[in-house]
Structure 1
Amino acid sequence: MLAFWLRGYRLYFRMVGASIRAQMQYRYAFFMNILGWAMSYAGTAVTMWVMLSSFKALAGWTFWELIFLFALAVLSWGVCVLFFSHFRSMDQYIVNGTFDRFLIRPLHPFFHFMAMKFDVGAFGQLLFSIAAVVIAYIQLGLDWSLWKWGVFLGAVAGGVFIQSGIVVLISAIAFWTTRSERFYWVVMFPAKSMMNYPLTLYPRILQWLFIFIMPFAFVNYLPALLLLDKKHPVYSPYWGSVSLLVGILFFWICYRIWMLGLSRYKSTGS
């Protein structure tokens, strides 16, 4: 069994390497893709600056606090995109009948599909988010203790698990409906836009949803409360210290649902 898993891991990294080499064949497109993503998120930051230049603060959050909140979400999303962006189009493989090939090769179907593409365009998101976090840290005059650095790293890792889990969960819908990508755009795009701003801007029902059902709040908002010494009228900022645990648990649930869908998969025969 151990030899099987070791062989599977070696195959996984070989497939990731092949994906990267394939994308590097067109160097201009490769670098423009990275630059394009970085500029796209920079444009959102400029929009925040324009808005805050008039209002000075939004729900008690200053411009650089909002930039930190935004960049923290983008940082974990960038890692998620590296490994899981193509899960949103899994329904196309099911409809076309090409998903069958992931079931007949000596690699776990989930990891095989995961290794099919390593989206290097996400480096643009990582480039922007790391730079934004560093600049916001300096502008806000932060001086974190070792414990707070641990909270920050846990928030990034937890954010990766949470956002990846949601992508995996949405892709699993295709096992029952044969369609899932439209649901991705209906759920993920609005949710990611809402994560750019403090949770207190939204109705209580949405706050409750983003904490207890689809735990987006653990990606950036709750950890940011703790890291920036801010308060929420109801929820403790110390909840942000368990982002990693919440992320691991949530991803495991989403993965089990994906595996349940796989057990019910029937080829379309296309």
Structure 2
Amino acid sequence: MESVQLYFDLIKAGLKRFAEYRSSFIAGFFGLIMINGSSILLIWVMLKNFHTLNEWTFWQIVFNYCLFLSCLGFHNTFFRHISDLENHIVNGTFDRFLLRPVSPLLQLASEKISITDLCDFTTGMIGALFAAKMLHIQITVGFMFGFIVSIINGVYVFTAILFSVSCISFWTMKSKSILYSTNEIQESVQHYPISIFNKAFKFIVTVLLPYGLVNYYPSLILLNKVNVHWVYVIMIALVDMIYGVIGAFLWRRGLKRYNGSGS
């Protein structure tokens, strides 16, 4: 409980620091709204002539897109800076995490906060619920429970992938280049249902880099596009667990290997 309280105390401190840059927040907020609006507009233009994309309608794709966006926004707000682990290791500043009487992982996770990215989270939440309404899906307690669980799962998937890849820095001193190379994969999963891609790509985004677990498979369940929901629930839980184990293993091995590199 003390660690949890400390985490929230550090987050509050980050919020106070951020309050000094309100104009930057407002500019970033409206910028993200324009970017997301443009993406949805492009989807509409594409489906204006084709009407459906591999049996996915416009509003179903919007729901899929916005679910991804809400998870990405929340993740970026609180956990995107985990990728800075590479910089800490290269510059030797990771040493200070080890010297303090607090978990190094807790210090890393609470080091920064990006309030601007809450725009993506908010836009995604509103967009997904509006799309569900346009699809005549009843917003029941059961639906909202599944929707919230899907967002929690999506944030976990993003963070687990980022954390696991970042831990590679303990051996290579570099990991961000690997993360940057996944951007196109992320964008493809965000904008389109992965059912339109070939089997190799679906395997990659389901098992190796499971971004499909962020929005595609939860969308299948929430939009009732599959009959046997529990199969997908078990698959999502299993992959989540595997990535959690991988991340924990790499972190522990990395801590034992780290000697401090200096600048």
TM-score normalised by the chain length of structure 1: 0.89
Q: 2:185 aligns with which of 168, 187, 191?
A: 191
Structure 1: how far apart are the matches of 2:142 and 2:71? 19
- Equivalent residue letter for 1:35: F
Alignment match, 2:27: 32
Alignment match, 1:265: 258
Is residue 95 of structure 2 the alignment partner of residue 100 of structure 1? yes
Alignment match, 1:169: 164
Mark the CA change 1:82 to 1:256 in structure 2 (over 3 Å): closer, same or farther.
farther
How many matched pairs? 261
Aligned pairs for 1:2-81 (under 5 A) are 6=2, 8-81=3-76
Alignment match, 1:124: 119
Is residue 201 of structure 2 the alignment partner of residue 206 of structure 1? yes
Is residue 247 of structure 2 the alignment partner of residue 254 of structure 1? yes
Give the ranges of 4+ consecutive aligned residues of structure 1 lying more than 6 Å apart after TM superposition: none
TM-score normalised by the chain length of structure 2: 0.91
Asked if 2 retains the 8 angstrom alpha-carbon contact of 1:72 and 1:129, the reply is yes
Mark the CA change 1:34 to 1:239 in structure 2 (over 3 Å): closer, same or farther.
farther
Asked if 2 retains the 8 angstrom alpha-carbon contact of 1:155 and 1:244, the reply is no
Q: Report the CA distance between 1:113 and its aligned residue.
A: 0.6
- Give me the CA root mean square deviation: 2.1
Q: Report the CA distance between 1:165 and its aligned residue.
A: 0.3
Is residue 220 of structure 2 the alignment partner of residue 239 of structure 1? no
Asked if 1 retains the 8 angstrom alpha-carbon contact of 2:168 and 2:250, the reply is no
Alignment match, 1:154: 149
SS in 2 for 1:143: coil
Alignment match, 2:223: 228
Q: Report the CA distance between 1:155 and its aligned residue.
A: 1.4
Q: Report the CA distance between 1:249 and its aligned residue.
A: 4.9
In structure 2, stretches of 5+ residues that fail to align are: none
- Equivalent residue letter for 2:193: P
Alignment match, 1:136: 131
In structure 1, stretches of 5+ residues that fail to align are: none
Q: Report the CA distance between 1:266 and its aligned residue.
A: 2.0
- Equivalent residue letter for 2:244: F
Deviations 1:170-201 (A, max 9, x none): 111111100111111102x1221121211111
- Equivalent residue letter for 2:225: K
Q: Report the CA distance between 1:79 and its aligned residue.
A: 1.6
- Equivalent residue letter for 2:255: L
Aligned pairs for 1:82-97 (under 5 A) are 82-97=77-92
Structure 1: how far apart are the matches of 2:229 and 2:4? 38
